[in-house]
Structure formats: C-alpha cells, structure tokens
Structure 1
Amino acid sequence: MNKSFKPYPFSAKKYAARIPELQQGVDETRHAVTIVGGGPVGLAVALGLANHGVRSVLIEADDSVCHGSRAICISRRSLEIIERLGALDGFLKTGLPWTGGRSFYRDTEVLHFTMPQDENQKLPPMVNLAQYHIEQYLLDAAQKRADLIDIRWQTRVKSIDSRDDGATLQLTTPDGDYALDTGWVVACDGGRSTIREALGLQLQGTSYEGRYVIVDIELDSERPTERLAYFDPSSNPGSTVLVHKQPDNVWRIDYQLRDGEDADEAVKPENVMPRVQSLLDMMGETGAWSPIWITIYKANALTLERYRHSRVMFAGDAAHLVPIFGVRGANSGIDDADNIAWKLAFVVKGLASDTLLDSYSDERVAATHENLSYGTKSTEFMAPPSFAFELMRTAVLSLAAKHPQVRSLINPRQTSAITYTNSPLNVPDRDAFASGPAPGSVLAECPVTIVEGGHGREAHLTDLAGACFTALCFTEDGNAPATFAVLANALRAGGVQLKTVPLCARLNPQTPGVHAWDHTGRIFERYDAYPGTVYLLRPDGHVLGRWRDAQPRDLEAAITRALSASI
C-alpha cells in the first residue's frame, strides 16, 4: 500500500522488456546463473559474479528502479562490499554520512549515541541514501558489465521446475512468454518471493502487531544528518516516531499507529499530513514541505531454515525479513550477495565442490539469527508487544535523563559487520593471538602506504583485498618469501587466484615489487603480528585462517579444504 504524490528529485529511467532469440518459445541458451529480482541484492549478486568472470541473467518484473525511500541506511561494511562491486563513487557523492543519533522521551533528550569512527577508518559508519539511488548506482555499474550481466526488464516468473541439474523458469513479458533453462537460480525477489512460494517454502519466526506509517516528504532544512527517535512525543502521544534526513531535501518519517487505528484510513493524505505538520512544529521546522510517498510497514522477524534448496539459492528478503530498527534489512541482503557470489562463481567455474554453497546457507542463516536477535530487541523497545514491556520501557525512558547507566537499554544497536564464528570454512587457530581479526571476521581497518617502484600512495587495508584469496604477509622489509609466489603460480595454473601482499614494519624504498608499509605503526600491534605472520582472506574479505609462522602448505591446505567437499 503506497501513494506517490509528486516526482522525486531523482527520476527513474524506464526500461523495455528484452526477448532473446527463441526456438518454439524457449530461450535457446542454457544459462549458468539466473537471478530473479533486480533490487539491490540481485544487482549485487550479478556484479559479484561478474567480478569472477561469471555471466548471469537478471530478471526484473518492474520497468525501472523502485519508487519510495524503502531501505535508506547503508553501513560501512556494505560500502566496503559496494566498493568491490565498482559502485562506491555514487554512494559517497550523493549519500549523507552520519555517525550517531539522539532519542527523546516526550520533550527530554535521553540518549545521544555515536557509532565507532576513528582515524583508522576509510568509510563512514553509515550513509543515508534512498533505495532508488542505491538501485540506480548498482544498475549503472551493472550496465558497464553488459558482457557479463544480461538484464531483462518487465519479465516475471510464472513457475519454476527445479531439478538436481538445474531449473527451468517459465517467464512472461508484455511481448510474450518463454522458457529459460539455467544451471543455478538465485532468488532475490523480495518478501513476497514468487520462487519461495513456488517451491512451497515458508518463512518462520515472529510478526509484530505494531504498524508504522512511512512518509517521504520534501523539506529544505539545515538540520544535521542523524538518527532521531521520539518516544511519546507531543505530536503523536503514546507512539514512537523516527526521522532520517536523505539527499535532495527528502526526509523519511516513520510513525507508529495507535492500537485500533485503521490502516487504510491511516495512509490517507488528509490523516497523514496533520501528523507530519505536528511533528515538524515540535521539531521547530518552519519551512514549506510537501508529501512525496506514503506506505505502511509491519515489523517481521522471519527466516527460512535453509537458504539453499538444491539448485535454488535464496538471498535478501526472499530468505529473511528483518525489522527495520537497526537498519539490518538491505545491509544483510548485501552481505548475502557478497557471500554467495564468490562461492557460486567458484562452483560454476568448476573450481569448487557445490558443497561450498552449503556454507553460504550455514553462515548466512547464523548471521540472520544474530540480526534478528538485535532487531527483535529494538522492535520490542520501539513498539512494546505487551503491557509488561511497555512498563519496562516507560521506566527506562523516565530514568535515562538523569541516570546514564540505563541509557544503553535505549541504544538502537545499529548493524555491524558479522563474524562467521562457527563457519565450517574457518581454519582454527593453532597459534595464540592476543588480538587481531579471528577466522570468520572481517578486516580491522587501518591506513597503509602502498609502495611501488619507490613511490608511495595512501590507502587502507581493505584496499589490499581483491575478488580472490589474499594473503597479508607481515614482513620486516616488504619481501615476502619466494615460496609464496611459487604457491600463487601453482594455484593460478589450476584456475584459483591467490594474491600475496607483503606488509612491512619499516619503509625500504629499494624493496622490489608492490608492498604495503605500516606507516602509522598500528597494524602490527592491532593484528598481534610479527615478521612471518600471515592472515589469509577469502574473496569476500573474511579471514579464512592466520598463522604465526605460515608456510605455503598452510595456505594451500586452507584453500583446498574450503573449496573441496571435505569441510
């Protein structure tokens, strides 16, 4: 249920359906991968596969990117992934960065939180960017990879025949229907997934009674970008209101409906506009404003039990529905895409057993349960599910103004990078490490200087990882053992890329080749590393294993084990 009132400052281009050459209503090509759903998750999967040279067909029922703000908060971890997908520039140019927010109880500020941000970081902890921008920038990147990404607009799935060796999709377009044969299907077709329904699968979990009206308005304001939460405000007594500033003078307002309010009546402009005006009056915003888009939202904490079903994989809202509080929806979907893309690419290219895809399900189901645990706590605080919860919340909010020790209970627990602690791919530590990212973690960011030919340029650790396995080799002078180069060449001959990056504690301009210098003097300490230490990264940037005195056989065994069926 949504209403559009005026064009957004951003205008979506319309796209026509594309019909391939058919033979008796059948696409003659058997495609390696077909992605159903052209939202942020589907586009991210396609771009991730393209980074590994794997072609995909992307099917989208609509004729353009979406309307309405929808997902608006993109986390630092998602930005790191998006940079590897080649779409970061638009996100940083248009998005509004923010580092924290404030919560109010009635007219009193009870919380001012700040997300982790220090001199080690390359990217902001969060940027606000409406989903239509998110989709457009990913689409722009995908169109540059047209040799590997075949986007088919205005194409819907009517049915799917899933088999042990692939699947056949029956598709419908304005110009006719046809069948498409594919080796693998990645279902990214949202909360009302056609693929999930066709396979008879159901999401499990909790649906909450609390409902929120979501309103996009256009308002010119100099107010800074931050997350604002109002509990029991004078503009909407007894409810909760969230406010986010977006690019192009668009503001996103979410306000809770009171018990007994009719949803159809609640989204009528004549009922929405007085509440928005009352909120803006309370905030002290006196500028002219106009509504753009209205919809209604109900929080769900739901997931499939498994994300792999033979040759069909599920990602994003098709796999799980996470409450919006804590901004884990789109961000968890982008994480899904990052995880599945490299694994599916290795399987399609014949470099890994398809059991590698079971680890996608293992890791991302565990991540969803972690996200749901935080999302559920935030949802229950935003919209108490019972009288007892409401009493508890009122007590916390009443005490928080004068008692800082209780303010953590109000903290919205914004999303953070997931650690795959129990991943079957992890190589257990055989050496003791006092610090540094453990197997399953993402890199702890830090500035470095990349040195080549005696010249250096500023960079960060995350710049060193690529769409391949990467070995960060801690050295004294930037010279990694020659045996690692021998291993990299041997793996390359078998189709597996291993990038070795020497990290040196002291600058030696005479060191040949490319290496990274720890010019801040912080990396060795943060990673509890000494010359000889190696951190081995997966293609998605998570640590696969680490060793104090690594030998080529350690790295080879870790990679071979991950790609084989013996995990």
Structure 2
Amino acid sequence: MPYEYQEFPYLTPGPLAGKPEARHKVVIVGAGPIGLAMAVDLALHGVASVVLDDNNVVSRGSRAICWAKRTLEIFDRLGIGERMVTKGVTWKIGRTRHRDREVFNFDLLPEDGHKMPAFINLQQYYVEQYLVERCRDFPDLIDLRFRNRVTGVERHDDHAAATVSTPDGDYRIEAEYLLACDGAGSPIRGMMGLDFAGELFEERFLIADIEMEADFPSERWFWFEPTFHPGQSALLHKQPDNIYRIDLQLGWDADPEVERKPENVIPRIEKVVEGRPFALDWVSIYTFQCRRLERFIHDRVIFVGDSAHVVSPFGARGGNGGVQDVDNLGWKLAAVVKGDSGPALLESYDRERTHAADENIRNSARATKFMSPAEGVERIFRDSVLALAAHAPFARGMVNSGRLSLPCSYQGTAPDGPDDATLPAGAAPGRPCPDAPVGGAWLLNRLGGRFTMLGLNTDPPEIEGAAALRLDASGLLTQRYLGDAPAAVYLIRPDQHVVGRWTDASKADAEAALAVAKGG
C-alpha cells in the first residue's frame, strides 16, 4: 500500500538507565494527533513535556480523515498546516442522495479570502507522522517515549504520578499536570473509575479503506438506501494516494468479527465501486456513541480529545473537536505552569470545552437518529423528509447526513468581554477570529500564541502582557472586522479567539479585559 509504516525507536527511560528524574511540568499520555499536538503547542509556549505511548508506530488505517478549516488553522499555528493541505485532498462540496437521486448538496466555504480550505481529507497516519517530525524540532522541550505504557495513576494535591511499563521494566514518573490524551477507550479514565455518560446507539457501520484508480470528484458523497446497499446508508470520501474511504451501515445485529472478514467485505465494496478493480487496505467496525465525562479536569489530571468525549463519526466532529481542545488548553496550561496565571484559568478549559462537546454531541446525535431512526415517529419523519426533498426545496435542508464541523463559539461561556455590537457579528467576543488577506499574507499568521491588542486603522492601547499590532484595514479585513466603523480595537487570545472589542478603547478598558481573560 502507498503508506510505509515505520517504527519509532525505543530508548530506555532515564529512571531505568540510572538517571533519576525530577518532577516534570507536564506528562502527556498518548501519542496520537491530540497528544502530539498538545506537546507541540506547549513547546511553542516554552513548556517542556514528556509524551508516553504504548505503541511505536503511527495509527494503522486512515481513522480520522476529515480536517476542518478551523482545525487546519490551528495546525498551521503549530507548524504543519501547509504540509497537510499540500498532501491532502481539498473539498468543500457535499452531496446527499436518496437511492439514485440527489436530494441535497452544500458548499462549506462559499466565499474566498481564507488561507485554509473548508475541509481536506488526509489519513490520520500522515497527521501523526507530521506531528512526530514537528516534535523533533523541540529536542529540549519534548521527550517522546514510545513503548511506555501507563499502568497506574495517582492523584495528589500538587501533582499527579503514573506507573509506566517498558521493555526494560517499570518506573514511576511525576508531573505537575498529567494529560490523558489516550483515546476513546482511555485506560486512564478506566483506572480512575470515571463515568462516561451519554447515549450508545444500536447501530454498526463498516469502514473500509480501498486503493483504487477512479475519476470520482473530490466531494463527500452520502447515500440513503442506495441501490447497491438496500435499506441502509453509505458514505464515500476520496483520500490521497488513490485511497477511498467507504462507510456502510450494517445494522445492530451484524456480527463485527464476521463482517470484517475480507470474504464478506469485498463483495460489498464491489457493488459500491461498480466493478472497478481495487485493493483492500484497512477494515474496521464501529458503533455510534455520543458520550462525555461530566468534567474534563480532575485535580491534576486533565482529559483531552476522545478520552473526554466521543461522538458518532458523521460530521467530522471527533478529531476536529479534539484538536480544538488542544487549542483551548495549551496556552492556559502554559500560563499556569509558568506562574503567569492561577489554576482558576484552567476551569475555563473545562467550561468552554464541555460546552463545545455538548454542541458536537447534540449535532451528532441528531444526525445519527436521522440516519438510523427508531421505528415509529422517527422513521416516519425521516422517510417523509426524504420523499419530500425530491420536489420540495424546504425539505432539503432537513435532510441530515451529518452537520459538518464548524468552530465552536464560546459566547456566553467564556468570560464575556466588552463588545461593541455595531461591529460585525462574525468577530464577536468568544468567536475564533475569521481569517483575511493582509498585505500579501494572512491575518491569522499574525495572531496566535500570545495575547494581542489589534488596532484596525488606529493605534491599539499598549498594555503589559499583550503585543500591540496595528493594521490598515481594507477589503475583506474591513468587511469581517469593521463593517461601517472607521476603526476598532480587538483583544485576541493566544488561541485566536476574540476576548473583547471596542470602537474606542482606553488603556484601562484593555487592561481590565486582559485580566479577566487570564483568569482574574
């Protein structure tokens, strides 16, 4: 197959090589996209971390493949966004079909003037590879330890500790904070006996990656009750290297062990691709879940990504939501361990990201119930909508094959900053900054990683703890940030979210908003 898996080297950890370790600032458990991105984000803030993973190779199979615009902007800040876009398959059009007719389509990025596309498809193993290589740019700040399996966790008032098993024996490691980035099955969540509340849907889907040469466009195709898979649903995505992702609904009664056998998978795929030759690359069976922890912070142990929340895959909200967890937590944890803010700042991670998880779960659950309705009212509604959509435009927007991931707004969840509501709604406090071209470059490449006082057509107040940036606004920058106002000042968080904005800001106004944003 096109991707060549390579093992990462195992090195004997210091404690097992006669080199005692002091307590670390941060230990990250899990070297998937979330744990690796977390290590890079902390390193960019000058915070060292140790990353522990029980494996020594990137993920097998494509797994998470759909990366949304906001996530790509975060990866761009971390240093791999452009590489991902170059390798990935860019798309923005989705088409939904009922049997053999199209009933609905959408354009996820109908306007120009953004550096990053609406979506790319790129296999998770590439993302992990790029992140491992990026981690190696910080040899003094990121300690990658493969084949280091966490077998126990302790919580204390001022630190957390883990017992780690390796080929050379066991050792104990301490950290001011331990981050559980160990996936949906999270062993750490299990060790701590934490409830994972929510809804488990009685439905199973088959995922198959196939290698195939075809002229399918770079679009998302979803079918309700296709003729090649009667009574069920199907999905097709194009990936790099002539790899295609095919999802097929199987029903709750399907036996996962039987259904993943090649002799059962291949005939199903042959019907989808209409006789084109293909090679089977990877197969998995998954069950719909929409669940989360009640809290993401448990003393000195913090849950990030799928260890904290899981959603059904339609809508691309799992991996994207996890990366946005990283974006939210990185600067806050760095500020706390460096002593720039108090621990109360971390509570805003819990508050904002549980809000985001609930939004993702709500959208994912609605899509799941539409795709796999219960007998009775749910099925009558679904079938009626699909029937109407063929000739009634109002019904087409009700067809739900997965509302695709959009960036979450923290309005009403983050501390509400000052807002001049005469400015454009798309850049209101709590929202991520919309990108715009700026003098041959991009606005978001000028923001992020630190607090910034952004002045548009005016000098921003200069305050301690925030960089000052003045830009002369025109074109899309004016449209997205000023509207009819001649000038404005924005306070931007390190994760490129708006804290507050004014058409006339004093130094005292800016200092007060910054103090609140830093957990004061």
Shorter-normalised TM-score: what interval? over 0.9
8 Å CA contact 1:435–1:527 kept in 2: the answer is: no
d(CA) in 2 for partners of 1:432, 1:366:
26
1:426: which partner in 2? 416
Unaligned runs of 5+ in 2: none
> Is the partner of 1:54 in helix, strand or coil?
coil
Q: Deviations over 1:310-344 (max 9, x none)?
A: 11110101000011111000000000011111000
d(CA) in 2 for partners of 1:47, 1:522:
29
Moved over 6 A (4+): 23-26
Deviation for aligned residue 1:426 = 2.9
Deviation for aligned residue 1:440 = 0.4
Aligned 1:59-458 pairs, distance under 5 A? 59-281=52-274, 286-411=275-400, 412-429=402-419, 432-433=422-423, 435-449=425-439, 458=440
d(CA) in 1 for partners of 2:418, 2:515:
15
8 Å CA contact 2:409–2:432 kept in 1: the answer is: yes
8 Å CA contact 1:35–1:46 kept in 2: the answer is: yes
1:501 corresponds, among 452, 458, 469, to 469
Pick closer, same or farther for the CA change 1:186–1:259 going to 2, 3 Å.
closer
Pick closer, same or farther for the CA change 1:23–1:68 going to 2, 3 Å.
closer
> Is the partner of 1:22 in helix, strand or coil?
helix
d(CA) in 2 for partners of 1:504, 1:433:
16
d(CA) in 2 for partners of 1:279, 1:531:
56
Unaligned runs of 5+ in 1: 1-7, 450-457, 506-517
2:482: which partner in 1? 527
Deviation for aligned residue 1:436 = 4.5
Deviation for aligned residue 1:25 = 8.2
1:546: which partner in 2? 501
d(CA) in 1 for partners of 2:253, 2:47:
52
Does 1:464 pair with 2:446? yes
Pick closer, same or farther for the CA change 1:117–1:137 going to 2, 3 Å.
farther
Q: Quick check: which has more Rg, 1 or 2?
A: 1
User: What amino acid sits opposite 1:382 in the alignment?
Assistant: M
Deviation for aligned residue 1:524 = 5.3
Pick closer, same or farther for the CA change 1:219–1:430 going to 2, 3 Å.
closer
User: TM-score w.r.t. structure 1 length?
Assistant: 0.88
Deviation for aligned residue 1:294 = 0.8
User: TM-score w.r.t. structure 2 length?
Assistant: 0.96
d(CA) in 1 for partners of 2:267, 2:30:
37
Deviation for aligned residue 1:107 = 1.1
d(CA) in 1 for partners of 2:97, 2:391:
13
d(CA) in 1 for partners of 2:94, 2:365:
20
Pick closer, same or farther for the CA change 1:268–1:521 going to 2, 3 Å.
closer
1:453: which partner in 2? none
1:474 corresponds, among 450, 453, 456, to 456
Deviation for aligned residue 1:353 = 0.4
Pick closer, same or farther for the CA change 1:435–1:104 going to 2, 3 Å.
closer
Query: What is the aligned-residue RMSD (CA, Å)?
Result: 1.8
Does 1:19 pair with 2:12? yes
8 Å CA contact 1:99–1:124 kept in 2: the answer is: yes
Deviation for aligned residue 1:422 = 1.9
d(CA) in 1 for partners of 2:197, 2:480:
44
d(CA) in 1 for partners of 2:222, 2:363:
17
2:492: which partner in 1? 537
Pick closer, same or farther for the CA change 1:522–1:280 going to 2, 3 Å.
same
Shifted more, 35-44 versus 255-264: the winner is 255-264
d(CA) in 2 for partners of 1:330, 1:521:
30
> Is the partner of 2:268 in helix, strand or coil?
helix
d(CA) in 2 for partners of 1:41, 1:264:
29
8 Å CA contact 2:27–2:177 kept in 1: the answer is: yes
8 Å CA contact 1:25–1:177 kept in 2: the answer is: no
> Is the partner of 2:23 in helix, strand or coil?
strand
d(CA) in 2 for partners of 1:233, 1:525:
42
Shifted more, 222-231 versus 522-531: the winner is 522-531
Deviation for aligned residue 1:177 = 0.8
Pick closer, same or farther for the CA change 1:307–1:102 going to 2, 3 Å.
same
d(CA) in 2 for partners of 1:116, 1:431:
25
8 Å CA contact 2:160–2:178 kept in 1: the answer is: yes
d(CA) in 2 for partners of 1:431, 1:97:
35
> Is the partner of 1:191 in helix, strand or coil?
coil
Deviation for aligned residue 1:531 = 4.9
Deviation for aligned residue 1:529 = 6.4
Pick closer, same or farther for the CA change 1:216–1:521 going to 2, 3 Å.
closer
Does 1:10 pair with 2:3? yes
Pick closer, same or farther for the CA change 1:18–1:525 going to 2, 3 Å.
closer
d(CA) in 2 for partners of 1:386, 1:343:
46
> Is the partner of 2:427 in helix, strand or coil?
coil
Q: Deviations over 1:418-477 (max 9, x none)?
A: 10012343314266545441110011222221xxxxxxxx0222122030001110226x
d(CA) in 2 for partners of 1:85, 1:522:
23
Percent sequence identity over matched residues?
40
8 Å CA contact 2:92–2:108 kept in 1: the answer is: yes
> Is the partner of 2:314 in helix, strand or coil?
coil
8 Å CA contact 1:208–1:385 kept in 2: the answer is: no
Deviation for aligned residue 1:261 = 2.6
> Is the partner of 1:29 in helix, strand or coil?
coil
d(CA) in 2 for partners of 1:333, 1:71:
11
Q: Deviations over 1:179-198 (max 9, x none)?
A: 10111011000011111111
User: What amino acid sits opposite 1:266 in the alignment?
Assistant: E
Q: Deviations over 1:481-528 (max 9, x none)?
A: 6xx34x2xxx2xxxx4x22111224xxxxxxxxxxxx2x265156434
Pick closer, same or farther for the CA change 1:105–1:431 going to 2, 3 Å.
closer
d(CA) in 2 for partners of 1:538, 1:291:
45
